[in-house]
Amino acid sequence: MIAKQKEFCKLLKKSNNYDINRKRNGENKIKMKNIKNYNLEELKQELISLGEKPFRAEQIFNWLYKEKVKEFDEMTNLSLELREKLKQNYTMCNFNILKKQESSDGTKKYLFDVLDGNAIETVLMQYHHGKTICVSSQIGCKMGCKFCASTGIAFIRNLTTGEIVEQVLAVEQDIGESISNIVFMGIGEPFDNYENVMKAVRLINHPKGLNIGARHISISTSGVVPRIYDFANEDLQCTLSISLHATNNEKRSQMMPVNNAYPIEELMQACRDYIAKTNKRISFEYALAKDNNDNLQDAKELVKLLKGMICHVNLIPINPIKNGKFAKSSNENIIKFRDYLNEHGIVATIRRELGSDIDAACGQLRRNNFEEKSKNE
């Protein structure tokens, strides 16, 4: 166990949560508390500490998540005195759009300024069942997956609860419509920012929050095994997605260094234990890379690996990245792979390719922005 912890620590350097710092009128940065970091009970305690009645917290929640206002002065059923207290002590963490790309298929990719000089990426996707948003959980990522555009750019920090929720609010404001589905599959490893992600999920799901059903929320992990066990105890109806991408340790470790800490055998056992405890289906993500993990033998090994599990396999045509070593598998191989899984009792579908005419790969827009800034410095 000690050896595994040491191995994982090579990937996961301890990170700190940050308060949001904002510049006002060119003054020095003033440390402000992000009001969207608080759940309803916590916000009630904040109001009490300000000498206010706790029911004001529900009014503020309504303004934030139902009316979706951007300024405290818009909260017109609060007294002027309370609004002034809020302005003096809290920020609403309203993101600015640094860049936005729109695909011919309706996909929109956002680069948001998180108000401390850093940027994060969020993606809006259009499906027949509604609008889905892919949110980031960290600024950068420690996992080092070889097919991800975030690899090679330094990890900065975890996103706070409010910064995760704000991605949803910012996109809704931009498009003028509500989001129906959320996937935690953007930049970062959600289970490496576990507490903030779980808190954000509950805020998003809360009836007085964004009120998005838990069954419409998916959380993806590269395979941080201890957190899979923690998640099984959360009593949430969210979907757990596992980024698998290979069927043996040799290939998976080459693609995903986290496998050196938590090899496939341990990951699969954690998945089986999760299903046994929750009776919920797991979605396995499998990015098909040409001449790497896309042949018939890989399909056979995947069937053997997942046999008897309540699961679904989401086959992903890999998005090539700049200087990346993996190329997209051929359409013929992808279809053959899917058909073999379905014929042998493993439900598999091919993820619809979206945003192929923009920076489609996860983290690509942020990476391009980072490289542009570096050239100009």
Question: How do 90-91 and 96-102 pair as beta strands?
Answer: unpaired
Long-range contacts of 125-131 (CB under 8 A, 24+ apart): 125/354, 125/355, 126/354, 127/181, 127/352, 129/180, 129/181, 130/179, 130/180, 130/181, 131/175, 131/177, 131/178, 131/179, 131/180, 131/181
Residue 30 half-sphere exposure toward CB, CA atoms < 13 A: 11
Q: What are phi and psi of 53, to 5 degrees?
A: -75, 140
- Calpha distance 166→177 (Å, rounded): 15
Catalytic residue among 46, 121, 166, 189: 121
Residue 145 half-sphere exposure toward CB, CA atoms < 13 A: 24
Active site residue 148: no
- Calpha distance 323→284 (Å, rounded): 26
Measured torsion, CA atoms of residues 266, 164, 362, 244, in degrees rounded to the nearest 10? 10
- Calpha distance 17→104 (Å, rounded): 38
Helix 296-306 and helix 331-343, axial crossing angle in degrees, nearest 10: 30
Active site residue 9: no
Confirm if 305 and 346 have CB atoms less than 8 A apart: no
Catalytic residue among 145, 238, 271, 362: 362
Start-to-end CA span in the chain (Å) = 44
As annotated, the active-site residues are: 121, 362
